[in-house]
Amino acid sequence: MKVIIAEKPSVARDLAKVFGNTTRKDGYIEGQGYSFTWAFGHLVQLAAPEAYGFKGWRIENLPMLPERFKLAVRQQRNGSGTADDPGVVKQLNVIKKLFDEATEIIVATDAGREGELIFRYIYYHLKCKKPFKRLWISSQTDEAIKNGFRNLKPGTEYDTLFFSAQCRSESDWIVGLNATQALSIAAGNRSVLSLGRVQTPTLAMICFRYLENKNFKPETYFQIAIWLNKDDLTFRALSVKNFKDKAAAQEILDKVRDIASGHAAGGLIQSVDVKPRKEQPPLLHDLSSLQQEANKRKGFTADQTLNLAQTLYESKLITYPRTGSRYIGEDVLAEVPELIENQEQHPLFGKQAAFLRTAKLNKRSVNAAKVTDHHALLPTNNIPGSLSPDLQAVYDLIAGRMLEAFHQECVKELTKITIESGSLFVANGTVIQSPGWRSVFNQKDDEKEDEENATLPKVIQGENLPIDKKDLLEKQTKPKPLYNEASLLKAMETSGKEIEDEELRQAMKNSGLGTPATRAAIIETLIKREYIKREKKLLLPTEKGLAVYELVKDKKIAQAELTGLWEKRLEEIRTGGSVAEFKNEIREYARTITSELLEAGKGLSGMMSDVPPEEGAVICPLCKKGVLRFREKAVGCSGYQNGCKFVIWRTMSGKKLSDNQITTLIEKGRTSVLKGFKSQAGNSFDAALFLSDGKVHFEFAPKGDAQKTVEGADS
């Protein structure tokens, strides 16, 4: 029997349908010699610190650097802490049974770094030794699946991909857990101050831009504008020089020879510079550029766009969405004419698709050497039926970008007219001679709309034109705009470096923060941890985020370029780079940041005083500052490093208290009567618990009416 393991049930069902296998079993589908089973995300993950003997959050544990990492079943919270997720355990047992019976194992998890990690962690956790083959496809269409199964590769060919994924996983554990515990402990543990390898430099970028914008002091300057007339067409020119002094600007304004001052033709044309310019079409979309475009045009968050694209992919309408490449190879180019023809019935793009079917295709996006795990995003041969508005919007961005990318250049004529009238003035204008790719979305070039004229008349050097009007414009310098999701994703691609050139940004991609597949999750994590918030379309830091930033801004963990270099190293590991060197660097880095943060965090308690504790936290009833940490054996105050000794032991007189009972005791000061306590003599008794001076006491009613209080229940 051949066992095929997919990343999620829906994909397994689609694969089974291609093979004609639809007999559902518990946790798998079987028929005709095949069994199709699935994970649902990461069933197996790196074990928690407790698995290595690191109990509690203690300075003496840091840095935590396990010699060998252990794998553990995904956990879920219960009343007394965490335990193996029973649904995960059940599915792992199904997978183990199928693997044990298999004559061949075929890996069909998503064809990328995380998909490989999901399978390998399951495979190694189950201690499976059987060889396996890899299905590697960029589309979920029936034909792509069939071709993929005809070209299965030995699993060993993807070992370096797994090594890259494993290094990413282990480095995030080492950096994230050590940094988080170091900062939280040093700051008194009022709340968990989570830090991460990619999360923290991203937060630093947002906070730095916010503070730069907030502290920006605008400077006033003056410009002179004149309006000239030629053949009843009025156009505007601006002074070449800006003036800081209003009086100096007014002096120049007074010298302008306009009609009101008695000059019929006071603007002398000194030069006319006309330059043709060919504007290349944009590259095809990868996930990051799609997310940026969807944010600009539709206001979608990065996470929304990823989820919509994943739905389109699983509906067989687009190719693999988590791609980091904006190129295709010649083999895929051969399929493009048919993909373009499919768009001829599209209400928005039909005309341009019909034009492209007979035109020579632009090959700017064709470069096999720049295709990584997957080629750029494309629609498939399947024509969508009725889609929701949001799904249609994302599909249109992908299909429309395909038409743009293979379209002709946009041909423009850039005109610059220099005029003299007491001073020098310049009028700029752009005339689109042939819209080319811009006709797909009927897109205008509005980058310099404020500075340019929509149209300019034909003028010649030496010609004098009347100046109908002149004006003194008061302007202010502007700060760099606050980040929205589109601009943040763009900045993350290049570790915060402002690079506008599209191809140069592509070259920087392997040195960016995170990957196209993970950046949306990073943004959502920062929001979930209340470090940043969405305000309309902007991403702004919270007080908590700013407090953490102030502490770490000069530390290694906040350096975007360093994290970007690690991403580059992970890509090098995928192509055969040294795993050992990378792991040693991460360990040394963890030692450095742990030391830095333990020292720096001492000053954070005051900074955090105005920051509310995390949602759902229970404030310590004794010191009124820390929050309670619910551990396996006891509930204690996060401020124990600052001297607070409040603790409630979970097991009291033979009875284990639940989270709800302890929470009630703390918030109300007492519980109702609880059953099941045992005295030292072994006798059972019932009693209520109450708090006094930070200690827990018994209260129960013996025979008769008198109430009796028993001291020392906290021992």
Catalytic residues: 320
Query: Which of helix, strand or coil describes residue 277?
Result: strand
Query: What pairs with residue 34 in β-bridges?
Result: 2, 31
Dist. CA 167–CA 176, nearest whole Å: 14
Closest CA to 714 of 652, 670, 654, 661: 652
The answer to whether the beta carbons of residues 270 and 461 sit under 8 Å apart is: yes
- Which bin fits 505, alpha (ψ -120 to 50), beta or left (φ > 0)? alpha
Residue 469 CA, distance from chain mean position? 50
What angle do the packed helices 579-600 and 560-574 form, to 10 degrees?
160
Question: Residue 200 half-sphere exposure, CB side, CA atoms within 13 Å?
Answer: 30
Strand runs (DSSP E) across 260-396, as ranges? 267-279
What amino acid is encoded at 477 in this protein?
A: T
* Interatomic CA distance for residues 514 and 479, integer angstroms: 27
SS3 of 374-386? CCCCCECCCCCCC
- CB 135 within 8 Å of CB 157: no
**CA torsion through residues 676, 682, 685, 687, sign:** negative
Which residues, other chains included, contact 416 with Cβ-Cβ below 8 Å and sequence gap of 6+? 271, 272, 273, 274, 275, 426, 427, 428
The amino acid at 535: E
CB 667 within 8 A of CB 659: no
Cα-based torsion angle of the residue sequence 610, 614, 617, 620 in order, rounded to the nearest 10 degrees = -30
3-class SS at 494? Answer: coil
Our CA angle for 681, 682, 687, nearest 5°, is 100
Q: What is the DSSP string of 427-458?
A: EEEEEEEE-GGGGTTT----TTTTTEES----
3 state DSSP class of 697: strand
The interaxial angle of helices 519-528 and 485-493, nearest 10 deg, is 120
